[in-house]
Structure 1
Protein backbone atom coordinates (compact mmCIF):
# COMPACT_ATOMS: atom_id res chain seq x y z
CA UNK A 1 0.00 0.00 0.00
CA UNK A 2 1.74 3.13 -1.21
CA UNK A 3 1.33 5.88 1.40
CA UNK A 4 4.27 8.17 0.62
CA UNK A 5 6.10 9.32 -2.49
CA UNK A 6 8.74 11.86 -3.55
CA UNK A 7 7.03 13.95 -6.25
CA UNK A 8 8.38 16.52 -8.66
CA UNK A 9 7.50 20.20 -8.72
CA UNK A 10 4.74 21.34 -11.07
CA UNK A 11 7.18 23.58 -12.90
CA UNK A 12 9.48 20.60 -13.47
CA UNK A 13 6.63 18.75 -15.19
CA UNK A 14 5.87 21.82 -17.27
CA UNK A 15 9.51 22.17 -18.29
CA UNK A 16 9.58 18.47 -19.19
CA UNK A 17 6.57 18.89 -21.46
CA UNK A 18 8.15 21.85 -23.22
CA UNK A 19 11.33 19.86 -23.81
CA UNK A 20 9.32 16.94 -25.22
CA UNK A 21 7.40 19.23 -27.57
CA UNK A 22 10.66 20.56 -28.99
CA UNK A 23 12.77 17.39 -29.09
CA UNK A 24 10.27 14.54 -28.98
CA UNK A 25 12.03 13.10 -25.94
CA UNK A 26 11.06 13.20 -22.28
CA UNK A 27 13.53 15.01 -20.04
CA UNK A 28 13.40 16.88 -16.73
CA UNK A 29 16.45 19.03 -15.85
CA UNK A 30 18.35 18.07 -12.73
CA UNK A 31 17.08 19.88 -9.67
CA UNK A 32 19.22 22.34 -7.75
CA UNK A 33 20.32 20.40 -4.63
CA UNK A 34 19.39 23.38 -2.46
CA UNK A 35 15.70 22.96 -3.37
CA UNK A 36 13.98 20.65 -0.90
CA UNK A 37 10.61 19.22 -2.01
CA UNK A 38 8.56 17.62 0.78
CA UNK A 39 7.37 14.07 0.30
CA UNK A 40 3.68 13.65 -0.52
CA UNK A 41 1.16 11.77 1.62
CA UNK A 42 -2.57 11.11 1.21
CA UNK A 43 -4.26 14.52 1.26
CA UNK A 44 -1.31 16.25 -0.43
CA UNK A 45 -1.55 18.18 -3.66
CA UNK A 46 0.64 16.29 -6.13
CA UNK A 47 1.78 17.35 -9.64
CA UNK A 48 0.93 14.82 -12.37
CA UNK A 49 0.33 14.35 -16.08
CA UNK A 50 -3.15 13.96 -17.53
CA UNK A 51 -4.02 13.19 -21.17
CA UNK A 52 -5.95 15.71 -23.23
CA UNK A 53 -8.53 14.90 -25.91
CA UNK A 54 -5.97 15.46 -28.67
CA UNK A 55 -3.60 12.89 -27.18
CA UNK A 56 -1.17 15.41 -25.69
CA UNK A 57 -0.28 15.60 -22.02
CA UNK A 58 -0.78 18.50 -19.64
CA UNK A 59 0.57 19.05 -16.13
CA UNK A 60 -1.67 19.85 -13.18
CA UNK A 61 -2.03 19.22 -9.45
CA UNK A 62 -4.62 16.94 -7.85
CA UNK A 63 -5.33 15.83 -4.29
CA UNK A 64 -4.12 12.37 -3.36
CA UNK A 65 -7.04 10.26 -2.13
CA UNK A 66 -10.76 9.67 -2.74
CA UNK A 67 -13.38 10.00 0.01
CA UNK A 68 -15.27 6.72 0.30
CA UNK A 69 -18.89 6.95 1.55
CA UNK A 70 -18.92 3.15 1.75
CA UNK A 71 -16.10 3.31 4.30
CA UNK A 72 -17.46 6.07 6.48
CA UNK A 73 -15.77 8.87 4.53
CA UNK A 74 -12.31 7.39 5.05
CA UNK A 75 -9.82 8.46 2.38
CA UNK A 76 -8.96 5.72 -0.10
CA UNK A 77 -5.59 6.47 -1.70
CA UNK A 78 -4.71 3.16 -3.43
CA UNK A 79 -6.61 1.31 -6.17
CA UNK A 80 -6.05 -2.40 -6.70
CA UNK A 81 -5.58 -3.10 -10.41
CA UNK A 82 -7.52 -6.34 -10.02
CA UNK A 83 -10.55 -4.49 -8.59
CA UNK A 84 -10.36 -1.72 -11.19
CA UNK A 85 -10.23 -4.24 -14.03
CA UNK A 86 -13.24 -6.14 -12.70
CA UNK A 87 -15.25 -2.96 -12.20
CA UNK A 88 -14.31 -1.68 -15.66
CA UNK A 89 -15.60 -4.95 -17.12
CA UNK A 90 -18.81 -4.80 -15.06
CA UNK A 91 -19.32 -1.08 -15.72
CA UNK A 92 -20.02 -0.30 -12.09
CA UNK A 93 -18.14 0.25 -8.86
CA UNK A 94 -16.03 2.96 -7.23
CA UNK A 95 -13.23 2.73 -9.82
CA UNK A 96 -15.19 1.94 -13.00
CA UNK A 97 -15.40 5.52 -14.25
CA UNK A 98 -11.94 6.65 -13.20
CA UNK A 99 -10.06 3.70 -14.67
CA UNK A 100 -11.95 3.96 -17.94
CA UNK A 101 -11.77 7.73 -18.37
CA UNK A 102 -9.33 9.07 -15.79
CA UNK A 103 -6.04 7.26 -16.09
CA UNK A 104 -3.09 9.55 -15.37
CA UNK A 105 0.60 9.42 -14.45
CA UNK A 106 2.56 10.71 -11.46
CA UNK A 107 6.32 11.23 -11.96
CA UNK A 108 8.31 10.52 -8.77
CA UNK A 109 11.83 10.05 -7.55
CA UNK A 110 10.85 7.34 -5.05
CA UNK A 111 7.93 5.62 -3.38
CA UNK A 112 7.88 4.17 0.13
CA UNK A 113 6.45 1.06 1.77
CA UNK A 114 6.27 -0.04 5.38
CA UNK A 115 8.32 -3.20 6.00
CA UNK A 116 5.46 -5.52 6.98
CA UNK A 117 6.83 -8.86 5.79
CA UNK A 118 8.82 -11.25 8.01
CA UNK A 119 12.52 -10.56 8.26
CA UNK A 120 12.38 -6.81 8.92
CA UNK A 121 15.63 -5.49 10.44
CA UNK A 122 15.62 -5.12 14.20
CA UNK A 123 15.56 -1.68 15.81
CA UNK A 124 17.02 -0.63 19.15
CA UNK A 125 13.61 -0.77 20.83
CA UNK A 126 13.35 -4.47 19.98
CA UNK A 127 16.08 -5.22 22.50
CA UNK A 128 14.22 -3.56 25.38
CA UNK A 129 12.04 -5.98 27.41
CA UNK A 130 8.35 -5.33 26.88
CA UNK A 131 8.90 -2.83 24.07
CA UNK A 132 8.17 -3.16 20.38
CA UNK A 133 10.53 -1.72 17.79
CA UNK A 134 9.28 1.01 15.52
CA UNK A 135 8.10 0.05 12.07
CA UNK A 136 10.58 0.70 9.31
CA UNK A 137 10.02 2.18 5.87
CA UNK A 138 11.82 1.35 2.66
CA UNK A 139 12.37 3.76 -0.23
CA UNK A 140 12.16 2.23 -3.72
CA UNK A 141 13.66 3.77 -6.85
CA UNK A 142 13.53 2.42 -10.38
CA UNK A 143 16.93 0.92 -11.10
CA UNK A 144 18.91 3.09 -13.50
CA UNK A 145 16.48 6.02 -13.46
CA UNK A 146 16.39 9.15 -11.29
CA UNK A 147 12.72 9.78 -12.21
CA UNK A 148 10.03 7.24 -13.01
CA UNK A 149 6.27 7.07 -13.50
CA UNK A 150 3.48 5.61 -11.36
CA UNK A 151 0.10 4.69 -12.88
CA UNK A 152 -2.83 6.45 -11.23
CA UNK A 153 -6.54 7.13 -11.75
CA UNK A 154 -8.32 10.44 -11.25
CA UNK A 155 -11.80 11.87 -10.83
CA UNK A 156 -13.26 15.18 -9.61
CA UNK A 157 -9.92 16.76 -8.70
CA UNK A 158 -8.54 13.73 -6.89
CA UNK A 159 -6.33 10.77 -7.76
CA UNK A 160 -5.40 7.37 -6.42
CA UNK A 161 -2.25 5.27 -6.90
CA UNK A 162 -2.88 2.01 -8.76
CA UNK A 163 -1.31 -1.01 -7.04
CA UNK A 164 -0.52 -4.54 -8.12
CA UNK A 165 1.15 -7.71 -6.86
CA UNK A 166 4.70 -7.08 -5.63
CA UNK A 167 7.63 -8.26 -7.72
CA UNK A 168 10.86 -9.81 -6.47
CA UNK A 169 12.25 -6.41 -5.47
CA UNK A 170 9.29 -5.47 -3.25
CA UNK A 171 7.80 -8.76 -2.01
CA UNK A 172 10.37 -9.26 0.80
CA UNK A 173 9.18 -5.92 2.23
CA UNK A 174 5.47 -5.53 1.40
CA UNK A 175 2.56 -7.47 -0.12
CA UNK A 176 1.55 -4.74 -2.64
CA UNK A 177 3.35 -2.19 -4.79
CA UNK A 178 2.47 0.73 -7.05
CA UNK A 179 2.05 -0.05 -10.72
CA UNK A 180 5.32 1.47 -11.89
CA UNK A 181 5.69 2.13 -15.60
CA UNK A 182 8.87 1.25 -17.43
CA UNK A 183 10.32 3.16 -20.41
CA UNK A 184 7.76 3.49 -23.19
CA UNK A 185 4.85 2.21 -21.11
CA UNK A 186 3.11 5.51 -20.41
CA UNK A 187 1.29 5.33 -23.72
CA UNK A 188 0.17 1.78 -22.90
CA UNK A 189 -1.28 2.87 -19.56
CA UNK A 190 -3.12 5.76 -21.20
CA UNK A 191 -4.29 3.58 -24.10
CA UNK A 192 -6.70 0.69 -24.53
CA UNK A 193 -4.22 -2.04 -23.58
CA UNK A 194 -3.73 -0.84 -19.97
CA UNK A 195 -4.77 -4.20 -18.38
CA UNK A 196 -1.62 -5.77 -19.86
CA UNK A 197 0.52 -3.80 -17.37
CA UNK A 198 -0.71 -5.62 -14.25
CA UNK A 199 2.34 -7.93 -14.27
CA UNK A 200 5.35 -5.96 -13.02
CA UNK A 201 7.68 -8.90 -12.47
CA UNK A 202 10.22 -7.56 -14.97
CA UNK A 203 10.63 -4.20 -13.19
CA UNK A 204 13.63 -3.84 -10.88
CA UNK A 205 14.04 -1.40 -8.01
CA UNK A 206 16.87 -0.16 -5.85
CA UNK A 207 15.80 0.03 -2.22
CA UNK A 208 16.99 1.93 0.83
CA UNK A 209 16.01 1.46 4.46
CA UNK A 210 14.63 4.70 5.87
CA UNK A 211 13.95 3.89 9.51
Structure 2
Protein backbone atom coordinates (compact mmCIF):
# COMPACT_ATOMS: atom_id res chain seq x y z
CA UNK A 1 0.00 0.00 0.00
CA UNK A 2 1.03 3.63 -0.31
CA UNK A 3 0.49 6.26 2.40
CA UNK A 4 2.72 9.05 1.09
CA UNK A 5 3.69 10.42 -2.31
CA UNK A 6 5.21 13.60 -3.70
CA UNK A 7 3.54 15.80 -6.31
CA UNK A 8 4.78 19.35 -6.75
CA UNK A 9 3.35 21.97 -9.06
CA UNK A 10 6.24 21.24 -11.42
CA UNK A 11 4.86 17.89 -12.59
CA UNK A 12 3.39 19.56 -15.70
CA UNK A 13 6.91 20.36 -16.93
CA UNK A 14 8.33 16.96 -15.93
CA UNK A 15 6.03 14.69 -17.90
CA UNK A 16 8.46 14.21 -20.78
CA UNK A 17 7.02 11.62 -23.11
CA UNK A 18 3.43 12.34 -22.04
CA UNK A 19 3.72 15.91 -23.32
CA UNK A 20 5.88 15.26 -26.38
CA UNK A 21 3.90 12.32 -27.72
CA UNK A 22 0.54 13.97 -27.14
CA UNK A 23 -0.66 11.04 -25.05
CA UNK A 24 -3.17 13.32 -23.33
CA UNK A 25 -4.14 15.77 -26.10
CA UNK A 26 -7.21 17.08 -24.29
CA UNK A 27 -5.31 18.26 -21.21
CA UNK A 28 -4.17 21.87 -20.89
CA UNK A 29 -0.53 21.51 -19.80
CA UNK A 30 -0.34 25.26 -19.14
CA UNK A 31 -3.28 25.35 -16.75
CA UNK A 32 -2.39 26.75 -13.31
CA UNK A 33 -1.95 24.40 -10.39
CA UNK A 34 -5.19 23.69 -8.55
CA UNK A 35 -5.60 24.23 -4.83
CA UNK A 36 -3.59 21.62 -2.91
CA UNK A 37 -2.28 21.46 0.64
CA UNK A 38 1.35 20.45 0.10
CA UNK A 39 3.87 18.88 -2.28
CA UNK A 40 3.89 15.88 0.10
CA UNK A 41 0.54 14.12 0.01
CA UNK A 42 -0.76 11.89 2.81
CA UNK A 43 -4.18 10.25 3.34
CA UNK A 44 -6.89 12.91 3.85
CA UNK A 45 -4.60 15.56 2.27
CA UNK A 46 -5.93 17.55 -0.68
CA UNK A 47 -4.00 16.60 -3.80
CA UNK A 48 -4.31 17.14 -7.54
CA UNK A 49 -5.85 14.63 -9.95
CA UNK A 50 -6.75 14.57 -13.64
CA UNK A 51 -10.28 13.49 -14.42
CA UNK A 52 -12.55 13.60 -17.51
CA UNK A 53 -15.00 16.50 -17.46
CA UNK A 54 -18.63 16.34 -18.58
CA UNK A 55 -17.64 17.44 -22.08
CA UNK A 56 -14.94 14.78 -22.39
CA UNK A 57 -11.88 16.98 -21.79
CA UNK A 58 -9.27 16.06 -19.21
CA UNK A 59 -9.05 18.62 -16.40
CA UNK A 60 -7.08 19.01 -13.20
CA UNK A 61 -9.04 19.07 -9.95
CA UNK A 62 -8.29 19.21 -6.25
CA UNK A 63 -9.52 16.22 -4.26
CA UNK A 64 -9.14 14.55 -0.87
CA UNK A 65 -6.93 11.45 -0.87
CA UNK A 66 -9.45 9.31 0.98
CA UNK A 67 -12.00 7.67 -1.30
CA UNK A 68 -15.40 7.82 0.36
CA UNK A 69 -18.41 5.71 -0.57
CA UNK A 70 -21.36 7.85 0.33
CA UNK A 71 -24.59 7.49 2.24
CA UNK A 72 -26.89 10.53 1.97
CA UNK A 73 -27.34 12.38 5.24
CA UNK A 74 -24.02 11.56 6.85
CA UNK A 75 -21.68 14.48 7.50
CA UNK A 76 -18.02 14.38 6.54
CA UNK A 77 -17.07 14.22 10.23
CA UNK A 78 -19.38 11.23 10.75
CA UNK A 79 -17.89 9.40 7.78
CA UNK A 80 -14.35 10.02 9.01
CA UNK A 81 -15.29 8.48 12.35
CA UNK A 82 -16.45 5.30 10.61
CA UNK A 83 -12.94 4.86 9.15
CA UNK A 84 -14.51 3.58 5.95
CA UNK A 85 -12.45 5.84 3.71
CA UNK A 86 -9.81 4.14 1.52
CA UNK A 87 -6.59 5.73 0.32
CA UNK A 88 -5.60 2.50 -1.50
CA UNK A 89 -7.60 -0.01 -3.55
CA UNK A 90 -6.32 -3.47 -4.47
CA UNK A 91 -6.26 -3.51 -8.26
CA UNK A 92 -6.80 -7.27 -8.43
CA UNK A 93 -10.36 -6.88 -7.12
CA UNK A 94 -11.33 -3.21 -7.54
CA UNK A 95 -13.47 -3.91 -10.63
CA UNK A 96 -16.11 -5.68 -8.58
CA UNK A 97 -15.44 -5.13 -4.88
CA UNK A 98 -17.46 -2.60 -2.89
CA UNK A 99 -17.10 0.36 -2.82
CA UNK A 100 -14.96 0.67 -5.95
CA UNK A 101 -17.07 -1.11 -8.57
CA UNK A 102 -19.11 1.94 -9.69
CA UNK A 103 -16.00 4.16 -9.77
CA UNK A 104 -14.23 1.57 -11.92
CA UNK A 105 -16.78 2.40 -14.62
CA UNK A 106 -17.25 6.14 -14.20
CA UNK A 107 -14.50 7.40 -11.89
CA UNK A 108 -11.13 6.64 -13.47
CA UNK A 109 -8.52 9.34 -12.82
CA UNK A 110 -4.78 10.01 -13.18
CA UNK A 111 -2.76 11.02 -10.12
CA UNK A 112 0.40 12.98 -11.02
CA UNK A 113 3.47 12.24 -8.93
CA UNK A 114 7.23 12.58 -8.79
CA UNK A 115 7.96 10.03 -6.06
CA UNK A 116 6.28 7.58 -3.72
CA UNK A 117 7.35 6.29 -0.34
CA UNK A 118 7.22 2.83 1.23
CA UNK A 119 8.35 1.38 4.56
CA UNK A 120 10.31 -1.87 4.73
CA UNK A 121 9.73 -4.62 7.27
CA UNK A 122 12.83 -4.31 9.46
CA UNK A 123 12.65 -5.70 13.01
CA UNK A 124 10.89 -3.46 15.56
CA UNK A 125 12.88 -1.00 17.62
CA UNK A 126 14.95 -2.40 20.48
CA UNK A 127 14.68 -1.05 24.01
CA UNK A 128 17.74 1.13 23.41
CA UNK A 129 15.95 2.78 20.46
CA UNK A 130 18.02 1.09 17.75
CA UNK A 131 16.55 -0.70 14.75
CA UNK A 132 13.03 -0.18 13.44
CA UNK A 133 11.53 0.36 10.01
CA UNK A 134 13.04 2.49 7.26
CA UNK A 135 11.09 4.63 4.79
CA UNK A 136 12.34 4.65 1.19
CA UNK A 137 11.70 7.20 -1.55
CA UNK A 138 11.14 5.84 -5.07
CA UNK A 139 11.66 8.23 -8.01
CA UNK A 140 13.02 8.14 -11.54
CA UNK A 141 16.75 8.95 -11.59
CA UNK A 142 16.23 11.75 -14.13
CA UNK A 143 13.50 13.37 -12.02
CA UNK A 144 10.67 12.95 -14.53
CA UNK A 145 7.11 12.78 -13.31
CA UNK A 146 4.58 10.03 -13.91
CA UNK A 147 0.97 9.03 -13.23
CA UNK A 148 -0.47 6.69 -10.64
CA UNK A 149 -3.69 4.87 -11.52
CA UNK A 150 -6.60 6.17 -9.44
CA UNK A 151 -10.34 6.11 -8.90
CA UNK A 152 -12.36 9.11 -7.77
CA UNK A 153 -15.82 9.68 -6.33
CA UNK A 154 -17.83 12.85 -5.77
CA UNK A 155 -19.58 13.13 -2.43
CA UNK A 156 -21.92 15.74 -0.95
CA UNK A 157 -21.68 15.89 2.85
CA UNK A 158 -24.09 18.49 4.29
CA UNK A 159 -21.43 20.00 6.55
CA UNK A 160 -18.90 20.82 3.83
CA UNK A 161 -20.61 20.80 0.45
CA UNK A 162 -19.71 18.76 -2.66
CA UNK A 163 -16.17 17.39 -2.72
CA UNK A 164 -14.08 15.01 -4.78
CA UNK A 165 -12.30 12.07 -3.14
CA UNK A 166 -9.86 9.58 -4.64
CA UNK A 167 -7.94 6.37 -4.04
CA UNK A 168 -4.72 4.95 -5.49
CA UNK A 169 -4.68 1.53 -7.18
CA UNK A 170 -2.11 -0.94 -5.81
CA UNK A 171 -0.64 -4.24 -6.96
CA UNK A 172 1.84 -6.84 -5.73
CA UNK A 173 5.28 -5.29 -5.29
CA UNK A 174 7.85 -5.76 -8.04
CA UNK A 175 11.27 -4.42 -8.97
CA UNK A 176 12.82 -2.09 -6.43
CA UNK A 177 9.72 -2.04 -4.23
CA UNK A 178 9.94 -5.78 -3.71
CA UNK A 179 13.65 -5.47 -2.96
CA UNK A 180 12.97 -3.70 0.35
CA UNK A 181 10.56 -6.41 1.46
CA UNK A 182 7.37 -4.41 1.04
CA UNK A 183 4.46 -6.50 -0.32
CA UNK A 184 2.48 -3.83 -2.23
CA UNK A 185 3.10 -0.81 -4.44
CA UNK A 186 1.10 1.73 -6.49
CA UNK A 187 0.26 0.99 -10.12
CA UNK A 188 2.54 3.25 -12.17
CA UNK A 189 1.23 4.06 -15.64
CA UNK A 190 3.49 4.23 -18.67
CA UNK A 191 2.75 6.75 -21.40
CA UNK A 192 0.84 4.15 -23.41
CA UNK A 193 -1.09 3.04 -20.33
CA UNK A 194 -2.37 6.48 -19.31
CA UNK A 195 -5.01 6.79 -22.02
CA UNK A 196 -5.92 3.11 -21.67
CA UNK A 197 -6.46 3.53 -17.93
CA UNK A 198 -9.16 6.13 -18.58
CA UNK A 199 -11.09 3.61 -20.70
CA UNK A 200 -13.75 2.12 -18.37
CA UNK A 201 -13.89 -1.01 -20.52
CA UNK A 202 -10.30 -1.96 -19.66
CA UNK A 203 -10.34 -4.25 -16.60
CA UNK A 204 -8.43 -2.76 -13.68
CA UNK A 205 -6.95 -6.17 -12.96
CA UNK A 206 -5.09 -6.11 -16.29
CA UNK A 207 -3.00 -3.18 -15.05
CA UNK A 208 -1.76 -5.26 -12.12
CA UNK A 209 -0.42 -8.00 -14.39
CA UNK A 210 1.88 -5.93 -16.60
CA UNK A 211 5.64 -5.52 -16.34
CA UNK A 212 6.62 -3.27 -13.48
CA UNK A 213 7.82 0.23 -14.51
CA UNK A 214 8.85 0.86 -10.90
CA UNK A 215 11.71 -1.58 -11.40
CA UNK A 216 13.59 1.27 -13.09
CA UNK A 217 13.17 3.64 -10.13
CA UNK A 218 15.98 4.75 -7.87
CA UNK A 219 15.38 4.33 -4.16
CA UNK A 220 16.76 6.27 -1.23
CA UNK A 221 16.31 5.72 2.51
CA UNK A 222 14.81 8.92 3.91
CA UNK A 223 13.61 7.99 7.43
CA UNK A 224 14.67 5.37 9.96
CA UNK A 225 17.94 3.65 10.91
CA UNK A 226 19.14 2.97 7.36
CA UNK A 227 18.61 6.61 6.42
CA UNK A 228 20.87 7.63 9.28
CA UNK A 229 23.53 5.21 8.13
CA UNK A 230 23.31 6.20 4.46
Q: Per the shorter chain, which TM-score range?
A: 0.7 to 0.9
TM-score (norm 2): 0.69
> Are 1:72 and 2:70 counterparts?
no
> Are 1:186 and 2:194 counterparts?
yes
> Are 1:151 and 2:160 counterparts?
no
Unaligned runs of 5+ in 1: 30-36, 88-92
> Secondary structure of 1:100's match?
helix
Alignment match of 1:161 (pick from 156, 168, 181): 168
Match of 1:199 in 2: 209
> Are 1:5 and 2:5 counterparts?
yes
Alignment match of 1:177 (pick from 185, 206, 214): 185
Deviation at residue 152 of structure 1 after TM alignment? 0.5
> Secondary structure of 1:188's match?
helix
TM-score (norm 1): 0.74
Match of 1:102 in 2: 107
Do the aligned residues in 1 keep the contact of 2:95 with 2:203 (CA within 8 Å)? no
Deviation at residue 102 of structure 1 after TM alignment? 0.3
Q: Distance in 2 between matches of 1:145 and 1:199?
A: 26
> Are 1:210 and 2:222 counterparts?
yes
Deviation at residue 7 of structure 1 after TM alignment? 1.0
> Secondary structure of 2:169's match?
strand
Do the aligned residues in 2 keep the contact of 1:13 with 1:47 (CA within 8 Å)? no
Alignment of 1:7-156 (within 5 A): 7-9=7-9, 13=12, 24=22, 38-67=39-68, 72-87=82-97, 93-116=98-121, 120=122, 130-142=128-140, 146-156=144-154
Deviation at residue 8 of structure 1 after TM alignment? 2.8
Distance 1:98 1:132, change over 3 A: farther
Deviation at residue 169 of structure 1 after TM alignment? 1.8
Unaligned runs of 5+ in 2: 31-37, 70-78, 155-163, 224-230
Do the aligned residues in 1 keep the contact of 2:23 with 2:194 (CA within 8 Å)? no
Distance 1:177 1:12, change over 3 A: closer
Deviation at residue 43 of structure 1 after TM alignment? 0.9
**Mean Cα displacement is larger for which, 98-107 or 138-147?**
138-147
